Amino acid sequence: MKLNRRSLLTVFDSLLTAYGRQYWWPGETPFEIMVGAVLTQNTAWTNVEKAIANLVAHDKLSPQAIITARKDHLANWLRPSGYFNVKAERLKNFCRWYVEAGGFDALSKLDIATLRDALLSVNGVGPETADDMLLYAFDRPVFVIDAYTRRLFSRLGFIAGDEAYDDIRLALEDKLGAEVGLYNEFHALIVVHAKTVCRVRPRCDDCMLRENCPEGRGMQQCLAP
């Protein structure tokens, strides 16, 4: 298999048929989505939900509240999401930048490249976190590349898997064209597939999106009933 538009859309259709629309990102507001993007770095989403619930319970789910909160307090609320000291610092960095930049409305006026560079300038926001924010908070056509995306497309033979982040992202965006709705649903479906298929389908307890799944396993086997 090779990386082209038709192959990609075939995979997308398989996932969409299997799981249906996902209506991502889980989060009420753009700011909550961005907080979640930082907290979910290398962390299970169920743990992130607990941390966000802590912030809400203490009325701290706002940029100003996070900026003014004591770092050790913030770290304690973030404890369930892991790396809590690192993430407390990263959230503070992000919120300081966010307020300084004028908040959501001001940032929304920037073009994609400028906004992406600005996000990447924040210590603690790397390419995937920035792209989560761009796609799901700012509604921009940016294809998010996470570990699952690399595994899926490399096991399907579309890519080698060890390419640089932007090489994969730009290749996918080139083949698919700038389609926010498609990117939104595609990334969500890849993640949902990885999170649920192994438990839902007994034959797939070695889901191909998991690290130790045998090589060469294709979409058909993995999605077969």
Partner DNA sequence: ACCCAGGGTCATA
Partner DNA sequence: TATGACCATGGG
Residues that bind DNA (CB under 7 A): 24-26, 36-37, 40-47, 50, 79-80, 82-87, 122-130, 132, 136, 146-148, 191, 194-195, 199, 209-212
Residue 45 Cβ, how far from DNA at the closest point, in Å? 4
Cα–Cα distance measured from residue 133 to residue 129, given in angstroms and rounded to the nearest whole number: 6
Closest distance of CB 137 from DNA, Å = 10
Is there a contact between 81 and 47 (Cβ–Cβ < 8 Å)? Answer: yes
Least Å from the CB of residue 170 to DNA? 16
* Cβ distance to DNA smaller for residue 60 or 87: 87
Structure tokens at 39: 């907290």
Collapsing DSSP states into helix, strand and coil, what is residue 2? coil
Measured distance CA(153)–CA(118) in Å, rounded: 29
Whether the Cβ atoms of residue 137 and residue 34 lie closer than 8 Å to each other: yes
Q: In 3D, which of 123, 104, 113 has the Cα closest to residue 178?
A: 113
For residues 78 and 74, what is the distance between their CA atoms, to the nearest angstrom?
6
4 vs 121, which CB is nearer to DNA?
Answer: 121
The answer to whether the peptide bond before residue 25 is cis (omega within 30 degrees of 0) is yes
Report in angstroms how near the CB of residue 204 gets to DNA at its nearest. 12
Nearest distance, CB of residue 215 and DNA, angstroms = 13
In the complex with DNA, the residue whose CB is nearer, 86 or 176, is 86
For residue 118 the two structure tokens come to: 């600005």
Give the DSSP letter of residue 214: P
Please, which residue, 66 or 122, has the CB nearer to DNA? Answer: 122
Q: Which one, of 9, 1, 213, lies nearest residue 221 by Cα?
A: 213
Closer residue to DNA in complex, CB, 25/109: 25
- In one-letter notation, the amino acid at residue 205 is D
Residue 60 or residue 116: which is nearer to DNA going by CB?
Answer: 116
- Cβ atoms of 122 and 66 within 8 Å: the answer is no
The nearest distance, CB 4 to DNA, in angstroms, is 25
